[in-house]
Amino acid sequence: MAKRPHSSGVDNAHAETGDGVVVSRFGSEILFETESGITHRGKVRRKLADIVCGDFVRYEKIGSDYAITKILKRKNTLVRQYFRGTPRNIAANIDQVIVVIAPAPATDWQMLDNLLVSIHRLPAEALIVFNKTDLVDKNYGTLNEFKSLGYTIIKTNKDSGLAELKKHLKNKTSIFIGQSGVGKTTLTNILIPEINAPTKALSESSDHGQHTTSNSIMYQLPEGGKIIDSPGIRDFTPLPLEKALYQSGFIEFEPFMNQCRFHNCLHRNEPNCAIKQAVENKEISQRRYQSYLALTE
Ligand SMILES: Nc1nc2c(ncn2[C@@H]2O[C@H](COP(=O)(O)OP(=O)(O)OP(=O)(O)O)[C@@H](O)[C@H]2O)c(=O)[nH]1
Ligand SMILES: [Mg+2]
Ligand SMILES: [Zn+2]
């Protein structure tokens, strides 16, 4: 992985280079951690504008300043479509994306579908954390649908489920993502008690989160592994992919693929479509199919 800092040669006896990992980003500056675990601020060169939390980088030390000169090869990047198709990186080199949902604020299920499509594409492991279970009795909305699809769901609240969550976090780089106010930072604070990052109650008038966390920050977990706490999102649209690529993100389509009349069927208006038939037979949920249609419009 990262190399130790070393002298870059005789021309500039004070210049040092080395590798590190981006812990957080604030505009053109980042916080990064060297392999020896020391955190520094660094200036990012303009051409590296898409640098993001989790990136492995090369730095150069000039005097007492650090400049980031290169983004090292990425394993993957979690990307969303920001404005009219513009991609925006959320994090890089992720092993596991943890979508946090809660009874309050109420879950946007279509956003969960969209996130799962993007996670499938990375690829990275997907984990659903159903938080604030103290606020509901048993069954929550359409969550069972995701369980039947085979997604792993962990139930947590401030006082329970944390041991199970820790097992899934161990020795991986994970990111918490989800709507504002679902409790991502609260969970992070419980996992790493010394950080005490700010959290805020839902707005009384709307029952929505108040967008408390403004920058993604990566933390080292005491048991090994890393967790990135990210700002709440209002919506999540995957990058514009070729339509065929969206299909594999709806994992329940898999058994019916290649059974449509047309080999390049988009499962919209085509005749003899096995996916549409499966929706009619209730083998694929109408709700999930609608999410698929919305993505492939
Ligand atoms: N009842 C209950 N409330 C919780 C639980 N976890 C967090 N909360 C509350 O939910 C509110 C929002 O928590 P945060 O941790 O700030 O949520 P967040 O997901 O980080 O929000 P953003 O940073 O805005 O994305 C706070 O008032 C927390 O105290 C829980 O398990 N049960
Ligand atoms: Mg937060
Ligand atoms: Zn079809």
Closest to 229 (Cα-Cα) out of 215, 209, 245: 215
pLDDT score at 8:
44
Cross-strand partners of 173: 226
Identify which ligand lies nearest to the alpha carbon of 101: 1
- Give 138-194 pLDDT, tens digit per residue: 788 899 999 999 999 999 999 999 999 999 999 999 999 999 999 999 999 999 999
Q: How far is the CA of 12 from the centre of ligand 2 (A)?
A: 43
Whether domain 77-229 has CATH 3.40.309.10: no
pLDDT at 240: 80
Burial tier of 7 (Cβ tally within 10 Å: 0-12, 13-18, 19+): exposed
Query: Which residues have their alpha-adjacent CB atom under 5 A from ion ligand 2?
Result: 184-185, 212-213
CA of 213 to the centre of ligand 1 (A): 11
Do 243-295 and 77-229 fall under one CATH topology? no
Q: What is the mean pLDDT of the chain?
A: 92
What's the CA gap between 258 and 244, in Å, rounded? Answer: 12
Supply the residue whose CA is at minimum distance from atom 3 of ligand 1: 132
Out of 79-93, 117-131, 264-278, least confident range: 79-93
Residues with CB under 6 A from ligand 1: 131-132, 134-135, 157-158, 180-186, 199-202, 209-213, 231-232
| Ligand 1 atom nearest residue 231's Cα | 25
Residue 3 pLDDT greater than 60, yes or no = no
**Closest to 30 in 3D by CA, of 219, 227, 215, 220:** 215
Nearest CA to ligand 1 atom 1: 132
Q: What is the pLDDT of residue 2?
A: 43
Angstrom distance (rounded) from CA 146 to CA 154 = 12
CA distance 178 to 183: 9
Q: Which CATH number fits domain 243-295: 1.10.150.530, 1.10.760.10, 1.10.40.50, 3.40.50.450?
A: 1.10.40.50
29-82 pLDDT, tens digit each: 999 999 899 999 999 988 999 999 999 999 999 999 999 999 999 999 999 998
Q: Please, how many CA atoms are within 13 Å of residue 257, restricted to the half-sphere of its CB?
A: 12
Q: Which residue has the higher pLDDT, 288 or 242?
A: 288
Token pair belonging to 42: 């660094």
Choose which residue among 131, 135, 199 to substitute to test ligand 1 binding: the one with the highest number of ligand atoms within 8 A of its C-beta: 199
Burial of 266 (0-12, 13-18, 19+ CB in 10 A): middle
Distance from residue 141's CA to the centre of ligand 3 (Å) = 28
User: Nearest Cα to 56, choosing from 28, 80, 81, 30?
Assistant: 30
- Choice from 200, 207, 217 to test ligand 1 binding pocket (greatest atom count within 8 A of CB): 200
Q: Which residues of 48-63 are buried (b: 16+ CB within 10 A; e: fewer)?
A: eeebbbbbbbbbbbee
The CATH H-level superfamily of 6-71 is Nucleic acid-binding proteins (2.40.50.140)
CA distances, 52 to each of 47, 79, 91, 123, 180 (Å):
13, 10, 5, 18, 20
Query: Domain spans of the chain?
Result: 6-71, 77-229, 243-295
What is the band of 295 on the pLDDT scale with cuts at 50, 70, 90? very high
Report the nearest atom of ligand 1 relative to the CA of 229.
20
* Pocket test residue of 133, 176, 186, 204 for ligand 1, highest count of atoms within 8 A of CB: 186
